[in-house]
Structure 1
Amino acid sequence: MRSRLRKTQRLWSHGSHGHSSISKHRKHPRGRGYAGGRHYDRINFNKYHPGYFGKVGTGHHEGQIHQKS
């Protein structure tokens, strides 16, 4: 018999498996990818990546030009 248990075995007696019964273990609680740059990582993005978010220059529409016939 092994002397050390797997982590899941150690957590068998702990109902929430280390993921809190209140906030729970959800898929993307803080958003996906760089979503935090607009929220909780705002200071970091502004400090080290200025201009990362937002538009620059004159935008143009790449759609079909409709002409009256």
Structure 2
Amino acid sequence: SNIKRKKTRKLRGHVSHGHGRIGKHRKHPGGRGNAGGMHHHRINFDKYHPGYFGKVGMRNFHLRRQHKFCLTINLDKLWSLVGVDKVAELEKEKTPNAPVIDLVKFGYYKLLGRGHFPNLPVIVKAKYFTK
């Protein structure tokens, strides 16, 4: 921006340059960063950052994320695995044979219950189901 419009131009000739005589403009009067969170900045930390200090929960020393890995699929996406043409065939039949959908073959382990499902018999194999 234009130098003539800067605040420093107005402050030339004023001894303290806008920082006051008593408090003074010093380097880091409260400490750097989060210093003093348990001491001189305690009020701020308690008021605006409750729960900042201390531990919570249990420690898992050897966390193996792979053990919890479980790909999921919802009910409404189930027929997309079978195919639309297959669904049309089943709807035409008066006593349709229930197709077997093995989710593990498709790479899914758990079946979730979101969405609607056509009123047709079907056998679903999976490792886990939600209630």
Instruction: Provide the TM-score with structure 2 as the length reference.
Output: 0.32
State the match for 1:50 in structure 2.
Answer: 51
Larger relative contact order (CA 8 Å, sep ≥ 6): 2
Compare the two structures and name the one with the higher strand fraction. 2
**Do the aligned partners of residues 5 and 23 (structure 1) sit closer, same or farther apart at CA in structure 2, a change above 3 Å counting?**
same
1:21 deviates by 1.5
Gap runs ≥5 in structure 1: 55-69
Identity %: 52
User: Structure 1's 46 and 27: CA in aligned 2 closer, same or farther, altered over 3 A?
Assistant: same
Alpha-carbon distance, 1:36 to partner = 3.6
| 1:53–1:12 distance in 2 versus 1, CA, 3 Å | farther
2:28 aligned residue:
28
What one-letter code is carried by the residue in structure 1 that aligns with 2:35?
Answer: A
Q: 1:11 to 1:53 in 2, by over 3 A?
A: farther
CA distance in 1, matches of 2:45, 2:54: 9
- Contact 1:11–1:18, Cα closer than 8 Å, also in 2: yes
Structure 2: stretches of 5+ with no match in the other structure: 56-131
Task: Give 1 or 2 for the bigger CA radius of gyration.
Answer: 2
Partner SS, residue 23 of structure 2:
coil
Give the 3-state SS of the residue equivalent to 1:43 in structure 2: helix
SS of the residue aligned with 2:45? Answer: helix
Alignment CA distance shift 1:27-1:45 (3 Å): same
Quote how far apart the aligned CAs of 1:15 are.
Answer: 0.9
Letter in 2 for 1:20: G
> Residues 51, 11 of structure 1: CA spacing in aligned structure 2 closer, same or farther, 3 A cutoff?
closer
Q: What is the RMSD computed on CA atoms of the aligned residues?
A: 2.7
